[in-house]
Amino acid sequence: MNTGQYISGAAHGGLILWALLGGIFVRPNDIAMPSQEVSLISGAEFAALTAPREAPEVTTTPPAPQPPASDPTPQTPTPDAPAPTPVPVPEPTPAPEAETVPAVPQALPTPVDPAIPESPAEPSFEEQGANAPAIPNREPTPRPVNRVAPEAVINPEPTPEIADTAQAEVAPDAQAPVETVKPEQAAAAPEEATTEIVTEAETPNGMASSPRPQSRPPSIARAAQAAKEAAEAAAQAAATPDEPAPQTPATPAPATPAPAAEPDSVADDVFAAIAAAQGETAAAPTTRTGPPMTSGERDALRVAVAQCWNVGAMSSEAMRTVITVEVKMSQDGKPDAGSIRLIGQQGGDNAAAQAGFEVARRAIIRCGANGFNLPVEKYDQWRTIEMTFDPEQMRYK
Amino acid sequence: MTLFSAASRLTSGLLLGLSLAVLGHAPAALAQEANGPLRITIDQGVIEPVPLAIPDFIAETPQAAEMARMISEVVASDLVGTGLFREIPPSAFVSQITNFASPVQYSDWKAINAQGLVTGAVTQDASGRLNVKFRVFDVFSDAPLGEGLQFGGSTTSWRRIAHKVADVVYSRITGEGAYFDSRVVFVAESGPKDARLKRLAVMDYDGENVQYLTGDQSIVLAPRFSPSGDRVLYTSYETGFPQIMLLDVATVSRTPLAVPAESMTFAPRFSPDGTTVVFSLTQGGNTDIYSMPVMGGGMTRLTNTPSIETAPSFSPDGSRIVFESDRSGSQQLYIMPANGGEATRISFGDGRYGTPVWSPRGDLVAFTKQANGRFHIGVMRTDGSEERLLTASFLDEGPTWSPNGRVIMFTREGAGAGGEAALYSVDISGRNLRRVTTQGAASDPAWSPLLQ
């Protein structure tokens, strides 16, 4: 009588158990809980990480790593020992340095490892950096000044008189000998300029200029050099009493591969092909009466005109108009003002084109007043010049 | 290894073929280049104030000396105030202008790098009538810019004459209209922030010649000039309830706009033809935009949504209206046809946009933007592109366009009880942000069209 109920109960119980345990409520492809391995650090370590960097401790206590001079172990000379052991951070560092390397700056970053030899390639980079024109980069962001130009100019002082080239102030000096009196002149500098319009609302998006990054900060490089020399000195000092001098630090391996020394066969082929083709073109008779303008020469002309192309007072309609202007040049590189004419326009009405043309004409005449720097032997190439003035990029500087 | 070398050989072969192909075409291109003129494209320039020489105008009658000096001063300050020009100090001049009729020595002005030269002469007769003639020269082109012109008027309107001269100089050099001979209606404020007295005033664009249009008994808000500059619409609290008033500037007589009782009306603005007013009306807790003829007549409802629509402003051709609405959940700008209809959202940036004003040129919409706890005045094209914020401060609001669509004037208010409202102007490029001189605090500017 109860059999049916037992069977039913067992069956239902089984069903429920299966539902609970059998996994039908578990989503088949359960999302794997993402986990991230972390490493735990103690509060002290964290404090050490976040603490402001201490001034470098050059002074007193030498770090635990055994200075080779005082260590009795060097009797077993292992010249091929890894670099760290012979690294001498000798306690009398300041003293010998004072005589040998007087140029070492006081605040040396301590952890300079003299065992890392400077690769021979690096000095060349540094020389590049040194030879690069000193770009004034006092401020990280442009300031709102009156002039917007492709090259930013940041004047350090209360604006001196505006001139084309910088010149130093020469003031009459009472102490100076009378013979060397220079004519009095006011300080002058190129007018301060920024590369974009700086409005109140906009965070300027860049640095005033972008100098090439140096391969290695010069102070660190100098410090490394000084430390290396100190290490050599110490090593020699250590070597004189003890015969097995650890030579490791003194020999920076110059075995770095010469960059691009081995000619690439691909590049070779291309160069050969270009040379061959150029030979052909040179030989082929053309209508040209002189060598073509190089891109550098064209760029120089472009920049020379752009310097005087002041779009600041142009109507916004004219700023949407691209115009083409023809100008005839005399052989000394000066534009013939009377020959400047508008030969094409695009995008605006005639009034806008005329306004743009007047601005362009002013630019050509002003910057051409002393003659553009153009190669005389290529006069045939630039007897007539067509200049296209496109203000598009200047609209939202 | 072999695979690599094979690939490298393949690459080199390809490169060789390519370079040969390119060079094969090169002679033709070079020859073409050699036949034509040298072509260069200049797309980088500089933006700086154009140096102008504005020597004092010549007094052709003895009593005009003072006027001549003052008029040339105003001309110079108008032009320099745009930020587009810089005045060369007279001490640098190589030669002086002593006679208006004698020819100009261009080389003397080139020597001091003057790109423009403005000369003028002033006569004043016994009856006090002024006559100013002037010329503009493009120094580096050795040519005058346009013909000489003259303006006449009474000595009392000498500032207007000077502004008109500056207008001509500006438009001849820049090639676009000017805005010096124009007026600005604004709310002059006095007293502390919690008991501020406000009255309508009108002044020249440069802050001179202030006249008060209403008393300070009741609060007034948001005045707007009519397209002809003779009437002003504003919101008054005279009755204790916001109510749009129409004021005739010449007679200073005012009449309320006929709207249903029990409704608040505000944010009025004229249509470009001056016959219609658009405004906001709140009835039953819902604010929508309506229009009605200025002379009275039936209202037309332009929007019909449960959200708040306000600050309507016509396009210069009168065909469309830009307004602000919070129908999307936050305050944004929309454009709809002038007779109502479907609105298109144009602002999509972060923050809240309000008080849109269509530029008189039709190409841009100026607005107030609130984002990250700061207020900005900005402009965008009418399709919402090229948004550009021009200012940033604690509170900037209520832009209004100069008649030529080049300059925006707005209200800036400082924080705290001591922060008082002042008028500022800024070029649409974001340059030349400067305070407009007013006596005391001022807010809610609205620029008139160029005076006739």
In the stretch 86-115 of chain A, residues with CB closer than 8 A to chain B read none
**Of the ranges A59-73, A90-104, A372-386, which is most confident?**
A372-386
- Asked if A381 and B41 come within 8 Å (Cβ–Cβ), the reply is no
From the options 3.40.50, 3.30.1150, 1.10.3720, 1.10.760, give the CATH code of A295-394. Answer: 3.30.1150
- Asked if A193 and B48 come within 8 Å (Cβ–Cβ), the reply is yes
Q: pLDDT for B331-353, tens place per residue?
A: 999 999 998 889 999 999 889 99
Would you state the structure tokens that stand for residue B8, as one six-digit string? 């490298």
Name the pLDDT band for B258 (thresholds 50, 70, 90): confident
- Coil vs helix vs strand at B337: strand
Q: Pick from A264, A289, A316 the residue to mutate for testing the B interface (most B CBs within 10 Å).
A: A316
Helices vs strands, H then E, count in chain B: 4, 32
Nearest CA in chain A to B38: A385
Kindly state whether A388 is in contact with chain B, defined as any CB-CB distance less than 8 angstroms: yes
Question: What's the CA gap between A328 and A339, in Å, rounded?
Answer: 6
- pLDDT value at A288 more than 50: no
Name the pLDDT band for A63 (thresholds 50, 70, 90): low
Q: What is the pLDDT of residue B186?
A: 94
Contact (CB, 8 A) for B360 and B401: yes
Contact (CB, 8 A) for B97 and B64: no
- pLDDT value at A91 more than 80: no
Among candidates A149, A269, A318 on the partner chain, residue whose Cβ is nearest the Cβ of B46 = A149
Q: What is the pLDDT of residue B219?
A: 87
Question: What's the CA gap between A268 and B13, in Å, rounded?
Answer: 11
Kindly state whether A313 is in contact with chain B, defined as any CB-CB distance less than 8 angstroms: yes
Model ipTM? 0.80
**Segment B287-306 mean pLDDT:** 89
- Asked if A270 and B15 come within 8 Å (Cβ–Cβ), the reply is yes
- pLDDT value at A169 more than 60: no
Q: Pick from B35, B48, B370 the residue to mutate for testing the A interface (most A CBs within 10 Å).
A: B48
Kindly state whether A364 is in contact with chain B, defined as any CB-CB distance less than 8 angstroms: no
Task: Kindly report which listed range (A101-105, B354-358, B383-387) carries the lowest average pLDDT score.
Answer: A101-105
Contact (CB, 8 A) for A365 and A325: no
Nearest to B267 by CA among B227, B233, B216, B301: B233
* Residues on chain B touching A385 (C-beta within 8 angstroms): 37-40
**Segment A46-67 mean pLDDT:** 60
Determine the Cα angle at A272 with ends A271 and A275, to 5°. 85
Question: What's the CA gap between B400 and B186, in Å, rounded?
Answer: 11
Name the pLDDT band for B13 (thresholds 50, 70, 90): very low
**Segment B38-52 mean pLDDT:** 90
- CB atoms inside a 10 Å sphere around CB B323: 24
The burial class, CB within 10 Å (0-12 / 13-18 / 19+), for A222 is middle
Name the pLDDT band for A56 (thresholds 50, 70, 90): low
- Asked if A202 and B43 come within 8 Å (Cβ–Cβ), the reply is no
Backbone angles phi, psi at A233, to 5 degrees: -60, -45
- Asked if A387 and B40 come within 8 Å (Cβ–Cβ), the reply is yes
**In this structure, are strands B352-358 and B344-345 parallel, antiparallel, or unpaired?**
unpaired
Question: What's the CA gap between A161 and B275, in Å, rounded?
Answer: 55
- CB atoms inside a 10 Å sphere around CB B264: 15
- Asked if B43 and A393 come within 8 Å (Cβ–Cβ), the reply is yes
Q: What is the pLDDT of residue A78?
A: 45
Q: pLDDT for A115-124, tens place per residue?
A: 444 444 444 4
Among candidates B46, B49, B174 on the partner chain, residue whose Cβ is nearest the Cβ of A355 = B174
Q: What is the pLDDT of residue B325?
A: 94
Distance from CA of B300 to the nearest CA of A (A): 36
- Asked if A396 and B37 come within 8 Å (Cβ–Cβ), the reply is no
- CB atoms inside a 10 Å sphere around CB A82: 10
Contact (CB, 8 A) for B399 and B378: no
Distance from CA of B143 to the nearest CA of A (A): 11
Coarse DSSP helix, strand, coil percentages of chain B, rounded to the nearest 5 percent? 20, 40, 40
State chain B's mean pLDDT as an integer.
87
Distance from CA of B428 to the nearest CA of A (A): 10
- pLDDT value at A257 more than 70: no
Contact (CB, 8 A) for A233 and A96: yes
- Asked if A270 and B142 come within 8 Å (Cβ–Cβ), the reply is no
Name the pLDDT band for B259 (thresholds 50, 70, 90): confident
* Residues on chain A touching B391 (C-beta within 8 angstroms): 199-201
Q: Name the one residue in this structure whose structure tokens are 């001049």.
A: B93
Kindly state whether A173 is in contact with chain B, defined as any CB-CB distance less than 8 angstroms: no
* Residues on chain A touching B12 (C-beta within 8 angstroms): 265-266, 269-270
- Asked if B37 and A383 come within 8 Å (Cβ–Cβ), the reply is yes
Q: Name the one residue in this structure whose structure tokens are 């500017």.
A: B445
- CB atoms inside a 10 Å sphere around CB B340: 17
Establish, for the pair of chains A and B, how many residue pairs have beta carbons separated by less than 8 Å.
Answer: 218
Contact (CB, 8 A) for B192 and B417: yes
Nearest CA in chain A to B23: A277
Q: What is the pLDDT of residue A250?
A: 42
Kindly state whether A199 is in contact with chain B, defined as any CB-CB distance less than 8 angstroms: yes
Contact (CB, 8 A) for B109 and B53: yes
Nearest to B132 by CA among B52, B178, B64: B64
Q: pLDDT for A173-195, tens place per residue?
A: 445 444 444 555 556 666 677 77
Q: What is the pLDDT of residue B270?
A: 94
CATH 3.40.50.10070 domain extents, chain B: 50-174
Q: Pick from B18, B23, B46, B359 the residue to mutate for testing the A interface (most A CBs within 10 Å).
A: B46
Q: What is the CATH number of domain B50-174?
A: 3.40.50.10070
Among candidates B24, B37, B115 on the partner chain, residue whose Cβ is nearest the Cβ of A362 = B115
Question: What's the CA gap between A177 and A170, in Å, rounded?
Answer: 14
Nearest to B30 by CA among A296, A290, A387, A270: A290
Name the pLDDT band for A129 (thresholds 50, 70, 90): very low
* Residues on chain B touching A298 (C-beta within 8 angstroms): 38, 40
Between these two residues, A136 and B140, which has the higher pLDDT value? Answer: B140
SS3 string of chain A? Answer: CCHHHHHHHHHHHHHHHHHHHCCCCCCCCCCCCCCCCCCCCCHHHHHHHHCCCCCCCCCCCCCCCCCCCCCCHHHCCCCCCCCCCCCCCCCCCHHHHHHHCCCCCCCCCCCCCCCCCCCCHHHHHHHHHHHCCCCCCCCCCCCCCCCECCCCECCCCCCCEECCCCECCECCCCCCCHHHCCCCECCEECCCEECCCCCCCCCCCCCCCCCCCCCCCHHHHHHHHHHHHHHHHHHHHHHCCCCCCCCHHHCCCCCCCCCCCCCCHHHHHHHHHHHHHHHHHHHCCCCCCCCCCCHHHHHHHHHHHHCCCECCCCCCCHHHCEEEEEEEECCCCCECHHHCEEEEEECCCHHHHHHHHHHHHHHHHHHCCCCCCCCHHHHHHHCEEEEEECHHHHCCC
CATH topology of domain B183-447: Neuraminidase (2.120.10)
* Residues on chain A touching B46 (C-beta within 8 angstroms): 147-150, 193, 306-312
How many CA atoms within 13 Å lie on the side-chain side of A386?
13
Q: What is the pLDDT of residue A396?
A: 65
- Coil vs helix vs strand at B129: strand
Percent of chain A having pLDDT more than 90?
A: 13
Kindly state whether A144 is in contact with chain B, defined as any CB-CB distance less than 8 angstroms: yes
For chain B, first and last CA: distance in Å?
86
Question: What's the CA gap between A264 and B11, in Å, rounded?
Answer: 12
Nearest CA in chain A to B24: A277
- pLDDT value at B319 more than 70: yes
Q: Which residues share a beta bridge with B123?
A: B131
Among candidates A144, A273, A310 on the partner chain, residue whose Cβ is nearest the Cβ of B19 = A273
- Asked if B30 and A286 come within 8 Å (Cβ–Cβ), the reply is yes
Distance from CA of A73 to the nearest CA of B (A): 49
Axis-axis angle for helices A295-306, A350-367 (nearest 10): 110
The burial class, CB within 10 Å (0-12 / 13-18 / 19+), for A83 is middle
Backbone angles phi, psi at A355, to 5 degrees: -65, -45
Q: Pick from A146, A148, A191, A199 the residue to mutate for testing the B interface (most B CBs within 10 Å).
A: A199
Q: Name the one residue in this structure whose structure tokens are 């974001």.
A: B430
Axis-axis angle for helices B65-81, B158-174 (nearest 10): 40
Contact (CB, 8 A) for B265 and B242: yes
* Residues on chain A touching B176 (C-beta within 8 angstroms): 315-318, 355
In the stretch 267-296 of chain A, residues with CB closer than 8 A to chain B read 269-270, 273-274, 277-278, 280-281, 284, 286-289, 292-293
Question: What's the CA gap between A42 and A54, in Å, rounded?
Answer: 20
In the stretch 201-230 of chain A, residues with CB closer than 8 A to chain B read 201-202
Name the pLDDT band for B17 (thresholds 50, 70, 90): very low
Q: What is the pLDDT of residue B183?
A: 93
Nearest CA in chain A to B115: A362
Q: What is the pLDDT of residue A203?
A: 57
Q: Name the one residue in this structure whose structure tokens are 């490169």.
A: B15
Among candidates B12, B38, B390 on the partner chain, residue whose Cβ is nearest the Cβ of A201 = B390
Between these two residues, B14 and A351, which has the higher pLDDT value? Answer: A351
- pLDDT value at B146 more than 80: yes
For chain A, how many residues are written? 397
Would you state the structure tokens that stand for residue B216, as one six-digit string? 């300070």
CATH 2.120.10.30 domain extents, chain B: 183-447
Return the C-alpha torsion angle A332, A338, A344, A346, nearest 10: 100
Contact (CB, 8 A) for B364 and B380: yes
Between these two residues, B97 and A395, which has the higher pLDDT value? Answer: B97
Q: What is the pLDDT of residue B315?
A: 95
- pLDDT value at B31 more than 90: no
Distance from CA of B318 to the nearest CA of A (A): 21
What are the residue boundaries of the structural domains of chain A, listed by start? 295-394
Q: What is the pLDDT of residue A293?
A: 84
